[in-house]
Amino acid sequence: MSASVSSFQTALETIEGLTLEEQEMLFEIVYHRFIERRRAGLAGEITTAREAYRRGEVQRGSVEELMAELAE
């Protein structure tokens, strides 16, 4: 068993030892942290896309226009 699987299994076993109320609190904390990390990641992607657009590396257009350009 790898160390990461072992650590994950240990974490699961620890969580199972918590009361339901503690598990619920843990779930809420982890969920909100996940949402914040996802939001930060998306903000970074948006910033990168906007910078690429400003440099002229991105074009606007419809799906139909993209497909026509790819067909050329």
**pLDDT tens string for the chain (72 positions)?**
577 779 999 999 999 999 999 999 999 999 999 999 999 999 999 999 999 999 999 888 899 998 998 998
pTM of the predicted protein model: 0.63
pLDDT reported for residue 1: 59
Task: Note whether residue 14 is domain-resident.
Answer: no
Any long-range contacts for 37-40 (C-beta under 8 Å, 24+ apart)? none
Task: Note whether residue 5 is domain-resident.
Answer: no
Which amino acid, one-letter code, is at 43? Answer: A
Task: Note whether residue 8 is domain-resident.
Answer: no
Task: Note whether residue 39 is domain-resident.
Answer: yes
What number of residues does the chain have?
Answer: 72
Count CB neighbours of 20 within 10 A. 7
Task: Note whether residue 65 is domain-resident.
Answer: yes
Task: Note whether residue 4 is domain-resident.
Answer: no
For residue 60, the enclosing domain spans 19-71
pLDDT reported for residue 5: 78
Task: Note whether residue 63 is domain-resident.
Answer: yes
Q: How many domains does the chain divide into?
A: 1
Please state, in angstroms and rounded to a whole number, the distance separating the CA atoms of residues 17 and 37.
Answer: 27
Task: Note whether residue 11 is domain-resident.
Answer: no
Please state, in angstroms and rounded to a whole number, the distance separating the CA atoms of residues 51 and 68.
Answer: 26
